[in-house]
A and B are shown apart, each in its own frame.
Chain A
Amino acid sequence: MRKHFLIVLCTITTLQLISQNTAIGTNEKLIFTAAYNMSGILTDLAEVEMETSSVKTSKSTLLKLKFTIATYSKWDDFFKIRDLYESYVHPQTLKPYLHNRDVNEGTFYKNMKYTFTNTTSVKAAQKNREGVVFETQEISINPTSKDIVTTLYYLRTIDFSKLAIGNSKTFSIIFDKKEIEGIITYLGKETITTALGKKECYKLAMGSSEKVLQGKNNNILYLTADANKILVYAKFKIPVGNGEIKIKSATGLKN
């Protein structure tokens, strides 16, 4: 009897430790407006899209997470941004298998591919504008490391109702061929007005081991406090200024 009880207890504990995706659907599309602070006035600069889809290989079905940034046409003559980030992950555990980053910002171009060959290393390959791979590198990683897009989605699998205000979670993120540490601090619930109506949200403060995100509580995320936990509002402060991201529309939600 005691043995059975232990097995059941272990199973429940293991299931709780492995976050399962109950929030992210396979045809979800979230559209945001990104604004940047210019001389104290927030100016709409770009459209940010987060989209999911199902992708089949001969052996498995994966979830594709896509994140794009495109400047509004009126800015294109001054600075044109067409960035694409995508990740292929396990639909339930969100374990990443492959991550592509294609950054196209005027004269600046960067294409990186990270292949998660096993749990302790990732193969990074960098291509030039012509599509020629000119650098490959094997990087040792923490078994829980994820790429930036998967981490953004992974946040939605966290059960924030079990966190106390001030509790933090640390994430290991692969970015620019190195592992950086991302820290999320739960700041409680707050109701905000969005394009989707008034939403009760989980308020989270973001931080990182790098100096990209500045200030203690200047980088904030608002995730809806419902089963979908979608991002509806974010404000950020980076070395070159500050801005915000606001949701415009959300379709194909799972719940």
Chain B
Amino acid sequence: MKQFLSMITIVSALLALLIAILPISNLTIFPSIFAILFGSMAYFLSKPMKKFTTSLKIGFLITLVALTISAYKAFFTTVKVDSKEGIEQTEKELEKESLEELENLEINQ
């Protein structure tokens, strides 16, 4: 049972790390909660004594790293559009075509 919970902790922690690296880093919280929850269960259920195994330590460490990355991205990075070149180019072409067409239309001023 304890081994199973430790395994889920590691998997959740790795998933949290993966999500933290991706643009969806604000969703890191969900696998992190799972990792902490299952890790804690594995810790408290361990018999004969409550003990931090290496796998649990690794699981918690990865979760901490994932949450740090996610928090850094949330507070210190700004979202921006680097290039609108495609739109600008299309706009120029469309405007030229449109003006030619508008010349042939009857427009009431």
Q: Chain A: how many interface residues by the 8 Å CB criterion? A: 42
A236 to B94, CA, bound (A): 29
A29 interface residue (CB < 8 Å to B): no
Q: Which residues of the partner chain B approach A46 to less than 8 Å between Cβ atoms?
A: 81
Q: Chain B: how many interface residues by the 8 Å CB criterion? A: 29
A75 interface residue (CB < 8 Å to B): yes
Considering the complex, give the chain A residue whose CB is closest to the CB of B82.
A73
A82, B87: Cβ atoms closer than 8 Å: yes
A100 to B94, CA, bound (A): 8
User: Of A70, A78, A102, A116, which one neighbours B84 at CB under 8 angstroms?
Assistant: A70
A72, B91: Cβ atoms closer than 8 Å: no
Q: Which residues of the partner chain B approach A83 to less than 8 Å between Cβ atoms?
A: 87
Interface residues of B in 60-109 (CB under 8 A from A): 79-84, 86-87, 90-91, 93-95, 97-99, 101-103, 105, 107-109
- Beyond A62-B107, A73-B80, A97-B105, whether A57 also contacts B24 by CB under 8 A is no
Q: Which residues of the partner chain B approach A116 to less than 8 Å between Cβ atoms?
A: 105
A102-130: CB near B (< 8 Å → 1, else 0) gives 10100000000101110000000000000
Considering the complex, give the chain B residue whose CB is closest to the CB of A47.
B81
A131 to B29, CA, bound (A): 46
Residues of chain A having any CB pair with chain B under 8 Å: 33, 38-39, 41, 43-44, 46-47, 55, 57-62, 64, 66, 68, 70-76, 78, 82-84, 86, 88, 90, 97-98, 100, 102, 104, 113, 115-117, 131
Known: A41-B26, A59-B109, A70-B81. 20 other contacts (CB 8 A): A38-B27, A39-B30, A44-B79, A57-B102, A58-B103, A59-B107, A61-B109, A62-B107, A64-B95, A66-B91, A68-B87, A72-B80, A86-B94, A86-B95, A97-B105, A97-B107, A98-B101, A102-B90, A113-B97, A116-B105
